[in-house]
């Protein structure tokens, strides 16, 4: 019987797969940043209860959360060229769909998907900061933007971080579907390799190992940032000669 499972290959082909790790990371990071920015915008629209926009935001979030990522990838992949053709037709322009790099479709789909999930996390985190602090900041004379930047966001980030980390992990795994938009990233590369040597099981083993390690690294990084950003547990120690309270007889 020939060798059913080539255990060695699982590890030896990892470097070949890793050549495409930069594409996976590029997809992830750009989609992540788009997700956070649009997510924050959607969150602010919901918090401020802006008429029309907040209903549209709710509809968008509902649709994105209610459809599989792979369907969303297909929708952008087929939808954008159609939209472009209509645009050309009505405006007399001649933009060519084929000049659009395929990675852009994947980035748009994954970024919008992220934004929908993160918007709810960000909204909840911002609203978890008590109103009193906002009033205090207003009373000091801070503007709305300053309050968001100096008071709300720093505290919201610590609250949102664990959930944002989870959704980043979902995103990095979601990039493995970008093949549907003809983007060759790590998983797609693996499929191509396996298509040549018929070692499908081995290549998926290698991919599993890589994604798992990536996820562990992300978890570590988020735990570290969380620890850095949260208010320390321990009360600072005051030396006896610095004690002011007794001297002032308060």
Q: Helices 186-197 and 200-229 meet at what angle, rounded to 10?
A: 160
- One character per residue 148-167, x = contact with other proteins (rule: CB under 8 A): --xx--xx--x---------
User: Contact, 47 vs 127, CB < 8 A?
Assistant: yes
Residue that has been written with the tokens 């919201």 in this structure: 156
Q: Which region among 2-10, 67-75, 139-147, 196-204 touches other proteins (by CB under 8 A)?
A: 139-147
Give the C-alpha distances (Å, rounded to integers) separating 22 from 33, 57, 193.
Answer: 16, 32, 18
Contacting other proteins within 73-132 (CB under 8 A): 130, 132
Give the residue, chosen from 14, 54, 138, 218, that forms a contact with other proteins under the rule CB under 8 A.
138
Residue 203, helix vs strand vs coil: helix
Count the site residues for other proteins by CB under 8 A.
29
Residue 145 found at the interface with other proteins (CB under 8 A)? no
Residue 245 found at the interface with other proteins (CB under 8 A)? yes
User: Contact, 151 vs 208, CB < 8 A?
Assistant: no
Distance of CA 86 to the CA centre of its chain: 31
User: Contact, 217 vs 168, CB < 8 A?
Assistant: no
Residue 186, helix vs strand vs coil: helix
Ramachandran category for residue 122: left, alpha or beta (phi over 0 → left; psi -120 to 50 → alpha): alpha
Rounded Cα distance between 209 and 115, Å, is 28
Residue 143 found at the interface with other proteins (CB under 8 A)? yes
CB of 229 to other proteins, least distance (A): 8
Rounded Cα distance between 199 and 5, Å, is 8
Q: Which region among 63-71, 98-106, 136-144, 214-222 touches other proteins (by CB under 8 A)?
A: 136-144
CB of 45 to other proteins, least distance (A): 20
Question: Whose Cβ is closer to other proteins: residue 19's or residue 135's?
Answer: 135
- One character per residue 195-234, x = contact with other proteins (rule: CB under 8 A): ------------------------------------xx--
Residue 141 found at the interface with other proteins (CB under 8 A)? yes
Binding site for other proteins (CB under 8 A): 130, 132-133, 135-143, 146, 150-151, 154-155, 158, 231-232, 235-236, 238, 242-245, 248, 250
């Amino acid at each position: 019987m020939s060798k059913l499972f080539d255990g060695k290959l699982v590890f030896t082909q990892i470097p070949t797969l890793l050549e495409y790790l930069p594409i996976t990371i590029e997809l992830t990071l750009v989609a992540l940043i788009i997700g956070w920015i649009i997510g924050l915008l959607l969150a602010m629209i919901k918090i401020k209860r802006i008429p029309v926009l907040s209903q549209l935001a709710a509809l968008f979030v509902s649709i994105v959360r209610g459809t599989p990522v792979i369907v969303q990838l297909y929708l952008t992949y087929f939808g954008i060229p159609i939209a472009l053709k209509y645009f050309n037709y009505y405006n007399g322009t001649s933009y060519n769909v084929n000049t659009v790099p395929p990675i852009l479709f994947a980035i748009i789909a994954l970024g919008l998907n992220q934004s929908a999930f993160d918007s709810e996390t960000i909204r909840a985190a911002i609203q978890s900061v008590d109103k009193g602090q906002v009033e205090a900041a207003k009373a000091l004379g801070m503007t709305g933007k300053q309050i968001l930047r100096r008071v709300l966001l720093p505290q919201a980030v610590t609250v949102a971080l664990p959930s944002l980390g989870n959704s980043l992990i979902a995103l990095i795994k979601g990039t493995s579907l970008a093949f549907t938009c003809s983007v060759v990233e790590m998983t797609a590369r693996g499929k191509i390799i396996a298509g040549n040597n018929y070692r499908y099981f081995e290549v998926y083993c290698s991919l599993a190992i890589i994604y798992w390690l990536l996820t562990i690294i992300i978890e570590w990084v988020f735990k570290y940032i969380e620890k850095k950003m949260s208010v320390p547990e321990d009360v600072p120690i005051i030396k006896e000669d610095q004690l002011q309270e007794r001297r002032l007889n308060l």
